[in-house]
Amino acid sequence: MMKSPVHRCRDVEHGRGESRAGSNGLQPEQRIPISKDFITSSSSSAMWFIRDTCGIVCSIITWLLVFYAEFVVLFVMLVPAKNLTYSIVNGTLFNTLAFLALASHLRAMCTDPGAVPKGNATKEYIESLQLKPGQVVYKCPKCCSIKPDRAHHCSVCKRCIRKMDHHCPWVNNCVGENNQKYFVLFTMYIALISLHALVMVVFHFLNCFEDDWTKCSSFSPPATVILLILLCFEGLLFLIFTSVMFGTQMHSICTDETGIEQLKKEERRWAKKTKRMNMRAVFGHQFSLLWLSPFSTPDHGNRTSEGRDRKVGQSAMLGGHADCIWRTSLSVLV
């Protein structure tokens, strides 16, 4: 299933070569700047949910595993603890992180990742663009939509997604331009609660070895050991997995290169930005605690820095450098 996007990409490249040849090499291929409102999904204001059986099952499993960790931490380790301050502090911290993790998961799952309007690549609309000689647009042959550059078609979502990084079954959604922040927060908070649970399990084992096992938990010693071992396995597994995902996502954000673009080794044709600007593009304005909140929505496209980037792009296009700046405007296969 991974072959068709690659072949499609090659076909697009061949098309671009023919376009340049047709202009006798006098000028580079031109593309039309399009406002972000045009390529924003029509469903951006409505609830977004992918009806994929595998993704729904994985999402339910994710929530059940978090609830299992909640049960073991609260009723096996904290409630029977003799130190009330220890129980309150760790219980508050763990429940806060778990709540933020589930809220981030819900936002990542139910937020439109940046879907391009489906079926908008009609002949009438393309004619209404009033293309000049040498200007081209590309459309996705699978969902028949005008395909912005850096967008890729997802076979699960059945849509083209802007700045698609990958499709994650654990959040039952693509990770794209609009929900990457929530996915990053989800991986971060899951890693933190996994680490916190592992630390508490170690302390609980040490206390129980020094004391009577019957006084360490409300459950029998064999049941307590089994529950703690399962929590250790779950915490270690998800700590490793989410830490790696968090690291790769942060690397993708800082380098402004999605996972698919790295995998396909696509040629970089968009304007290069600083790491700080790339972080702000995903998380919002200047650094604040809102970056860590899944309830804060980044205002994509309304930042002063991006406005400056557009002006730079326009100036470069007038100078004949449309290929390196305005690939972010359009990339639609006709």
Give me 231's structure tokens.
């929590």
Lowest mean pLDDT among 16-25, 48-57, 116-125, 148-157: 16-25
| Nearest CA-CA partner of 307 in 279, 334, 281 | 281
| pLDDT of 300 | 60
Residue 218: pLDDT band with limits 50, 70, 90? confident
- Asked if residue 138 lies in contact with residue 12, where contact means CB atoms within 8 angstroms, the answer is yes
Give me 209's structure tokens.
């070895």
Give me 301's structure tokens.
């496209």
Q: Find tokens 């000028």 and name the residue.
A: 27
pTM higher than 0.85: no
What mean pLDDT, rounded, does the chain reach? Answer: 77
Segment 191-214 shows an average pLDDT of: 88
The DSSP code for 139 is B
Distance CA 159, CA 143 (A): 6
What are the structural domain ranges in the chain? 53-114+164-292
Segment 67-93 shows an average pLDDT of: 93
Higher pLDDT, 101 or 12: 101
Q: Find tokens 């978090």 and name the residue.
A: 66
Report CA-CA distances (Å) from 303 to 254, 330, 332: 17, 21, 26
Burial of 13 (0-12, 13-18, 19+ CB in 10 A): exposed
Known catalytic residue at 54 = no
Catalytic residue among 154, 168, 208, 216: 168
- The answer, yes or no, to whether residue 107 has pLDDT greater than 50, is yes
| Main-chain dihedrals φ then ψ at residue 139, nearest 5 degrees | -130, 150
